[in-house]
Every structure is written in C-alpha cells, then in structure tokens.
Amino acid sequence: MTENTFVPKNLLAIETSCDETAAAVLRNGRDLMSNVIVSQVPIHRKYGGVVPELASRHQLEAIVEVVEKALIDADTDRSDIDAVAVTQGPGLVGSLIVGFSFAKAMAMAQKVPLTGVNHLHAHLTSIFLQESSPSFPYIGLVVSGGHTSLYIVRDFLSVELLGQTRDDAAGEAFDKVAKILGLGYPGGPIISRLSEGGDPMAFSYPRARLPDTPLDFSFSGLKTSVFTSVKQIQGTLPVRDICASFQEAVVDVLVEKAISAAKRYAIYDIVVSGGVAANSRLRARMTRDAERLGYRTYFPRLEFCTDNAAMVGIVGYHQIRAGMVIKEDADVYSKK
Ligand code: KG4
Ligand code: ZN
C-alpha cells in the first residue's frame, strides 16, 4: 500500500462472487448513479442451490451487458470512468474470475487504477448507500447464504472478525430447511412468508450457544433437529409452525450474539447486512431487543442486502483513496 491522494470521481464497481452479475457507477464515493443486478436464481432453482459450473457460465454470458447497462444508466461511458473496483473474494472461484478478469482488462485498457474488494467488507459497509448510517466503530453482522460472521467495523478499511459460523451459514440453513419441507429455492423468503401464519413456539428447536467461543455460530444441529421432527410427524405437516419455530431459533441466536458483542465491546451501533438481513422477523426482533437496551440498529434497504456492486463501490472508493491498488498479476481468492 502506498500513500495516494487520488480521489475517484466516477468509479465502476463489479460483483460476480456467486450467482449475481452486478455492476454500478458510484460518483464521488456517495452518489449511486446506476446499480444493475442480474440474478441467476431462476437457473439454480431447480437444483435447490447454486451450481458453481452453471454460475460461472452464466456470469460469462451476462458480464458485458451488465457493465454496459450500468454505464448507460449512469449516463457515462468508459472514458468517464477513472477507477474500477471489483470483488476479489471470497466466493466461487469460477464466478469471481469472470468479474475480476473483466475489471482488470477494463482498468488496463482505460489506464485507470483497479482495487480488489473483499465481499464481506462490502456487505458490512453497504449501509452507507443510504441516508441514515451508523458511526464508527459499529458491530457488523453479515448473514447470507455463504456467511454468518460478526465484526467490529472500525472504519471503511479496517474490520475485526469476532466470530463466525462453524458449519452452515444462516441463509444456508433457511435454504436446507426449505428443501427438507419441499418448499423451493431460495428458502429464506419462502420460510419468512410462511412463518407469518405459524406459531414460533410450536416446536422447541435448539439454539447453539457455544460457551467456549460465544460469538461463533452453529446452525447444523438446528437443521438436523428440523429434519428429525419432520420425520416423526405422521399425516399433514404443520409447515407454517415448523417454519415459524425454525425462523425464531435462527433469529434468537443472531439477535442474542449481536447484542452480546455490542455489550462486550461497549459499541452502540449494530448493522445487519447480507441476504438474511431482508428477513422481517430478524429486522423486527433485532430492532426491538437492541433498542430496548439502548443500542441503535441499521439495516440496508432490501436491494442492498443481497449481492450488489454498489456496496463494492463503497469499499473500493476508500481503498483507491488510500492507494490500495492491485497489480496485473493479482488473483481472486475463494476463502477469506
Ligand atoms: O447475500 P446473498 O444474496 O448471497 C450470498 O452472498 O449468499 O444471500 C442469499 C441468502 C439465501 O440463503 C436466502 O435464502 C437468504 O439469503 N434470504 C433470506 C431472506 N431473503 C434472502 N433468508 C431469510 N429471510 C429472508 N427474507
Ligand atoms: Zn453476499
């Protein structure tokens, strides 16, 4: 890293870490001029989850058009772009490579700086895409299909991992339980909708508290417990009650651990991001329980909860300003 005073005006951001192909133009690090997202959910739905080979192939098919649309929507063209930010990892290697190679080629052709962004850092700072934003440092919880991790976010460039899942991610648990119940993919939104008419106390599913590493998470026992209870039921499944009871178990743990981190580090702002942050029960419970204790809670708007390039632009802008530019031989990484 070198000292650098370059401040990008029109930054192009690209995100292809999983099954969304996304591009955005961020002006002056603040104004979102365009935000294009092409989701592959319809392609992976029939397999009940993301198929990596299909994901990379469709990334390749979509990338050129998605970037072109982001430039057009922003009323810019390639020559106006003075910096490029791209997700470097973690994620599916085949998918990451598509966006990364495209971004590298574009930065080289336009002779502008390129920065590689960590996907989780991007989720953590997606909250700055809206008016009401937290103060540093804040507790950041990323809950998605691939991750469940708790951080202290000290500023745009510095985050500290406090805990993470030992097995399934929270979103993955939603997807797997939906599969057990034959509900379709992705499971989160379906379970969330069905839970509304269900009794969250009908089944007492386990909440993994992990006394040795209390800020870590584990959801595989919960998933197994749902599976066992489903097998034991004869006749019609009380699907809504199962959904509501499962969701409540996930929400209890997420709320408890986020608040416990805030208490432990005496930090008053809590930000929840990632696909599962779209869950209305999680939003309601986190807000109620945290605010009752004097903590403030923040959730990105729904379009910024799931994967998008705008959030990559936020981190990318600050990295470029700090001179965190990557070289031509840099590569993607699948794990943190
Ligand atoms: O952040 P995201 O789009 O992709 C990853 O980086 O994983 O998150 C997708 C995950 C899926 O597991 C999906 O089931 C879950 O977020 N999800 C939800 C809701 N909407 C999406 N989970 C619970 N409730 C929701 N409303
Ligand atoms: Zn994500």
Task: Tell whether the torsion through CA atoms of 282, 297, 86 and 148 is positive or negative.
Answer: negative
Q: Tell me if the bond preceding 186 is cis, omega within 30° of 0.
A: yes
Which residues are within 8 A (CB) of 109 and not within 5 positions of it... i.e. 6 or more apart? 78
Residue 274 Cβ contacting ligand 1 at under 6 Å? yes
Residues of the chain with pLDDT under 50: 1-2
Query: Considering the chain, what is the average pLDDT of its residues?
Result: 96
Mapped onto helix, strand or coil, the DSSP state of residue 151 is: strand
CA distance to 135, 152, 156, 266, per residue, from 262 (Å): 13, 9, 19, 6
270 contacts 259 by C-beta, under 8 angstroms: yes
Look at residue 3 in the predicted model and tell me its pLDDT: 54
Among all bound ligands, the one having the nearest atom to the CA of 144 is 1
Of 334, 336, 321, 335, nearest to 115 by C-alpha is 321
Look at residue 4 in the predicted model and tell me its pLDDT: 52
Residue 18 Cβ contacting ligand 1 at under 6 Å? yes
Kindly give the distance from the C-alpha atom of residue 308 to the centroid of ligand 2, in angstroms, as a whole number.
8
Which of 276, 307, 311 has the most ligand 1 atoms within 8 A of CB, as the residue to mutate? Answer: 276
Rg (CA), the chain: 20
Full set of structural domains in the chain with CATH: 10-124+306-321 (3.30.420.40), 133-299 (3.30.420.40)
Strands lying side by side in the sheet with 20-27: 31-39, 20-27, 10-15, 83-89, 114-118
Do the bridges between strand 148-155 and strand 296-298 make them parallel or antiparallel, or are there none, so unpaired?
Answer: unpaired
pTM above 0.85, yes or no: yes
Which of 143, 144, 311 has the most ligand 1 atoms within 8 A of CB, as the residue to mutate? Answer: 144
Residue 185 Cβ contacting ligand 1 at under 6 Å? no
Which tokens in the block code for residue 109?
A: 């052709």
Which residue in the block uniquely carries the two structure tokens 């031989």?
A: 329
pLDDT in tens, 312-335: 999 999 999 999 999 888 999 998
